[in-house]
């Protein structure tokens, strides 16, 4: 059973970093870590780390030694649901879609892409990275039959809303959206936007600032 805690969005986003850090520590045979040292290595405030860990940890940290690595790892994995996998379908087998299909890291994070969909005749029925590509018209049936909860949108912006509507109509509960379009969906459906353009914008601005210094 999971503890009934509600982390802030930001805290939640830090969890994968903690997990990565803890796993690495475990590999090195370290059995307990302090929030201070985590904070230093991850460039965070130590109180912040302590609050984050306190929120998901079943046991308290001990003065002088800190938190038990193994337990923390279990707690975080449990909280993030890395143990019970989520099934997903992917729509749009372009360059980005192929990458997502081929990314074996996702399984570690509890995501399992069971099938892909596209309208392009030349791609349909192929098997890419071990996943079959189906024609889009078969999406609804498949999603309903297999009780899939997550849809990944990797199509060009102009088709994103249509695909979203289709996914929602098929009973999907969450959408991972790689297009730049703000999707209109019912309240109970979560849209997680992945905004690569925003990252590029930050890079661009930093470079401009650096240039202007010289």
Partner DNA sequence: ACCATATCGATAGTGAGATATCGATATATC
Partner DNA sequence: GATATATCGATATCTCACTATCGATATGGT
Tally of CA atoms within 13 A in the half-sphere of 10 that contains its CB: 4
Which positions lie near DNA, rule CB under 7 A? 8-11, 34-37, 44-48, 50-51, 53-54, 57, 60-67
The span from the CA of 148 to the CA of 170, in Å, is 9
How far apart, in whole angstroms, are the C-alpha atoms of residue 67 and residue 89?
38
Nearer to DNA, 44 or 114 (CB): 44
Site for a copy of itself in 178-207 (CB under 8 A): 180-182, 188, 190, 192, 194-207
Helix (H, G, I), strand (E, B) or coil at 53: helix
Question: Tokens in use for 163?
Answer: 């695909």
Residue 36 touches a copy of itself, criterion: CB under 8 A? no
Site for a copy of itself in 84-143 (CB under 8 A): 86, 95-96, 98-100, 102-106, 109-111, 129
Q: Which of 187, 183, 188, 146 is nearest to 166 (CA)?
A: 183
Q: With beta carbons less than 8 A apart as the criterion, state whether 131 and 69 touch.
A: no
- Residue 133 parent element (H or E): strand 131-135
Among 31, 47, 81, 137, binds a copy of itself (CB under 8 A): 81
CB of 73 to DNA, least distance (A): 15
Residue 198 interacts with, from a copy of itself, DNA, none (CB under 5-8 Å by kind) = a copy of itself
Shortest distance, CB of residue 9 to DNA, whole angstroms?
A: 5
Q: Which residues contact 125 (CB under 8 A, 6 or more apart)?
A: 132, 133, 134, 135
> For binding to a copy of itself (CB under 8 A), which residues are involved?
2, 9, 12-17, 20-21, 24, 41-43, 80-82, 86, 95-96, 98-100, 102-106, 109-111, 129, 149-150, 157, 173-174, 176, 180-182, 188, 190, 192, 194-208, 210
């Amino acid at each position: 059973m999971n503890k009934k805690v509600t982390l802030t969005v930001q805290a939640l986003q830090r969890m994968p970093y903690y997990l990565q850090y803890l796993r690495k520590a475990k590999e090195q045979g370290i059995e307990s870590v302090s929030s201070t040292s985590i904070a230093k290595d991850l460039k965070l405030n130590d109180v912040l780390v302590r609050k984050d860990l306190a929120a998901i940890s079943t046991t308290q940290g001990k003065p002088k030694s800190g938190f038990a690595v193994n337990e923390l790892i279990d707690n975080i994995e449990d909280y993030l649901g890395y143990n019970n996998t989520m099934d997903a379908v992917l729509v749009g087998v372009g360059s980005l879609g192929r990458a997502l299909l081929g990314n074996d890291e996702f399984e570690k994070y509890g995501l399992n892409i069971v099938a892909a969909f596209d309208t392009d005749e030349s791609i349909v029925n192929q098997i890419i990275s071990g996943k079959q590509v189906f024609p889009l018209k078969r999406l609804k049936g498949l999603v309903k039959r297999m009780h899939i909860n997550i849809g990944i949108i990797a199509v060009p912006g102009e088709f994103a809303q249509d695909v979203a509507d289709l996914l929602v109509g098929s009973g999907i509960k969450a959408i991972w959206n790689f297009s730049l379009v703000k999707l209109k969906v019912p309240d109970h459906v979560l849209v997680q936007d992945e905004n690569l353009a925003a990252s590029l914008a930050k890079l661009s601005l930093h470079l401009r600032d650096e240039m202007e210094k010289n």
